[in-house]
Amino acid sequence: MALSMKNNLVIVESPAKAKTISKYLGSDFTVLSSVGHIRSIPKKAVKGVPPVDVKNGYKTLYEVDPDKKKIISELKKAAKAAKTIWLATDEDREGEAIAWHLTEVLGLDPKTTNRIVFHEITKSAIEEAIKHPRTIDMNLVQAQQARQILDRLVGFELSPVVWRKVPGGKSAGRVQSPAVRLLVEREREIEAFNGTASFRVTAEFIDGDDTIKAELSTKFATESEANNFLENLIESKFTVSDISTSPAVRNPGAPFTTSTLQQEANSRLGFSAKATMASAQKLYQDGKITYMRTDSVNLSNQAIAAMADYIKTTYGDDFVQVRKFKTKSANAQEAHEAIRPTDIRLEKASSNEYDQKLYDLIRRRSLASQMAPAKLEKTVITIEIQNEAKSQNVFEAKGEVILFDGFLKVYGASKKDAEILPAVKTGDELQLKLANARQVFSRPPARYSEGSLVKKLEDLGIGRPSTYATIINTIQVRGYVEKGEGEGEIREIINLTLENNEVKRELATEKTGADRGKLIPTASGEVLTDFLNGHFDQVIDYGFTAKVETSFDKIATGSLARNIMLDDFYKPFHELIIKSGGIERSLITKVREIGLDPKSGKVILARLGRFGPMLQLGSGEDKADKPQFAPMPSGRKIETVSLEEAIQAFTLPRTVGQTPEGAIIKANIGRFGPYIQIDKLFISIKPFDPHTITLEESLDLYQKKLQAETEKNIADFGGGIKVLNGRYGPYVTDGKKNAKIPKGTDPKSVSLDDAKKLLDEAPASKSRRRKFNGKKS
């Protein structure tokens, strides 16, 4: 890359951020990117020196990442040519650490090198930052180092113990493990929940031409009680005994922090925490929103004034109510602003559908925070029952009217409109149109969604804005947690209806237990949690983990020495590692004897294997008679799978038939669910059952897969180098590396030389595990 001799060199961590900043600086500035972190702690000792030397004050080795050598070479050339260097990495601890690593690698003095920070990428913010540079804050750097060192020590010392002792165990993390524990505890609450049924009574009354819907103030425990109540209504009179009207005010929420953005994006848009942060990062780097990792709900005076002016112009004076929100979190990491648009007038910030949806959510929430409360009127009509049974129960009809929209004008009303009640007066007699007693069931605690888990972690003081998305992604990647896909099970409910002076009973159905999008711990996650709880309780203790986060905060402010904090955690933790050698693996392994196979007479076991819960036919004690293995049936656990289900599981793989070309089609269940196999091609058959899928259905899925593969392959240059059409657009691959094809480039025009060049510049792809085929434990 040719560099012109310019006086000023600005270094940031992102190419997109560099591109945006360069638009606002003059021709005397060169803006380059480090493309994230440039150094990391090596995985192994270097010349006999451990990566983290605990005995020598936690002295840490760093090595330049191999794929960053070319970037560093370019940065060194530019730094040598420039008169003044400005480090403009993000203003949080990670950004401060990157700036420090840059001084180390480029040979700059951290005590004198200009460090500039800004919470939005706008011309005014950058010009202001240039006017007020500072130097690197070593307290922030030390706080980042403390987190990195602690996580490295825990991971490197605890993970090998987990591999040896825990079936299916891959690794354990200091912050991820408490998150898995939360999900395991919730799952066990659900399993232990004993639901009760009752009957909820609703009715429709006639008042002239109007209908009033009401609900009985109490529920009935049994069907006979509900039935008797309905029969008594036949000869009853119904009178309005009371009408109460009360004003209500609904206030807007504070503008977004990282946590609340992830929660709302999950509940309103269905975004995962990872997807939310990816979109927010793009919006920030494009200069559309303020910095997206923040604990603060504060807004600048300029931003508030701009919002107030926009609201006044767009909606009128009555809709403006300026507010200053205070940050509740005692551990707020930085004095940033809340997440808001850099220009509140801008409605469209991105051509990307997902980024635009997130921007719109941020913009509306920001505007709402400076708008007047919504004014409502709530009404309750009480309907008295008069009959020989002298019932003390009453029906209540509830309604709500929005008198003034206020902030609801921009930040959504409820999904369901409240009932608007007709005008009635006390003493009015109403006619009963119909009454219904429907069986309802008490609900177990709800499983966590990504959004609600983020809220819980924040409430417990576990993690920080920069770590929530990583925590949730890591526990899924490691196989300790998975996202539910179940639509629920059908159950029968009793429905009693009184109409035309007759009570009718009928059975209806409803779905229960849907877990789509919810976070569910796997068997490996449960075993890991039990193992850590029994032998490393310090690692998954909520209070202790929160205390560690608070200690990082103290290091960042200079009120706690890094090494004292590390000693407080590491020394007792290391003692537990030393004692772990005596832990018996057999006591941790989950094995349940289900019964005997009627054909072979062999024992069938449910147990935890390398890739999760599985079934085993044969004890394995006789080396000459090797056991058979089968995946656990969908939706079943080691504790719940029945003998019948286990026997059926061993009928797989099943030969479904042949393709027109004569290839055998086999149906089976693997680690990732049910599939059919044709030669070396594996095709997911969800939601079909591998025991019952027909040849016709299999051939249809096969043809669709072949068509998708044809559309996916744009070009094949041989030697493994291909141009493919992927989920996120066209890319080049050699089987080891993937490289995205730049926007605006026709993928069909990419030559072999182009492909090789793109692959040379791309970082190495992470390896992926093979799919479980049911043959190995």
First to last CA, the chain: 52
**Active-site option among 58, 291, 411, 570:** 291
Angle of CA points 163, 165, 169, to nearest 5° = 45
Angstrom distance (rounded) from CA 261 to CA 267: 10
CB 615 within 8 A of CB 650: yes
Q: Are 343 and 123 in contact (CB under 8 A)?
A: no
The full 3-state SS of 143-202, as one line of letters, equals: HHHHHHHHHHHHHHHHHHHHHHHCCCCCCCCCCHHHHHHHHHHHHHHHHHCCCCEEEEEE
Cα separation, 641 vs 632, in Å, equals 8
Nearest to 8, CA basis, from 23, 24, 21, 27: 27
How far is 85 from 70, CA to CA, in rounded Å?
A: 19
The Cα–Cα gap between 511 and 644 comes to 25
Q: Which two tokens stand for residue 428?
A: 């009015």
Three-state secondary-structure class, residue 741: coil
71 CB-near residues (< 8 Å, 6+ apart): 33, 34, 35, 38
Tokens of 79: 């730094």
Question: Exposed (0-12), middle (13-18) or buried (19+): which is 555, by Cβ within 10 Å?
Answer: buried
Question: What single letter denotes the amino acid at residue 99?
Answer: A
CA atoms in the 13 A half-sphere facing the CB of 224: 0
Catalytic-residue membership of 291:
yes
Candidates 333, 322, 280, 288; CA nearest to 96 is 333
**Counting beta carbons within 10 angstroms of the beta carbon of residue 605, is it exposed (0 to 12), middle (13 to 18) or buried (19 or more)?**
buried
Axis-axis angle for helices 353-368, 301-315 (nearest 10): 90
What backbone phi and psi angles, to 5 degrees, belong to 112? -125, -20
Give the residues across from 53 on adjacent strands: 59
Q: How far apart are CA 295 and CA 258, in angstroms?
A: 7
Compute how many other C-beta atoms are within 10 angstroms of the C-beta atom of residue 659.
15
Residue 60 and residue 67: Cα distance in Å, rounded? 21
**Phi and psi angles of residue 465, each rounded to the nearest 5 degrees, phi first:** -50, -35
Q: Which residues contact 706 (CB under 8 A, 6 or more apart)?
A: none
Spatial separation of the C-alpha atoms in residues 221 and 346, rounded to whole Å = 56
- Residue 651 CB: number of other CB atoms within 10 A? 10
Question: Which among 370, 374, 372 has a CA at the least distance from the CA of 340?
Answer: 370
DSSP-assigned letters across all residues of 349-392: --SSHHHHHHHHHHHHHHHHTTBPPEEEEEEEEEEEEESTT---
| Beta-bridge partner residues of 375 | 249, 404
| Max CA separation in the chain (angstroms) | 99
According to DSSP, the β-strands at 210-216 and 394-404 are antiparallel
Beta strands 374-386 and 237-250: pairing type?
A: antiparallel
Peptide bond into 178 cis (omega under 30): no
Residue 48 C-beta-side C-alpha neighbours within 13 Å: 0
Which residues are known catalytic residues?
291
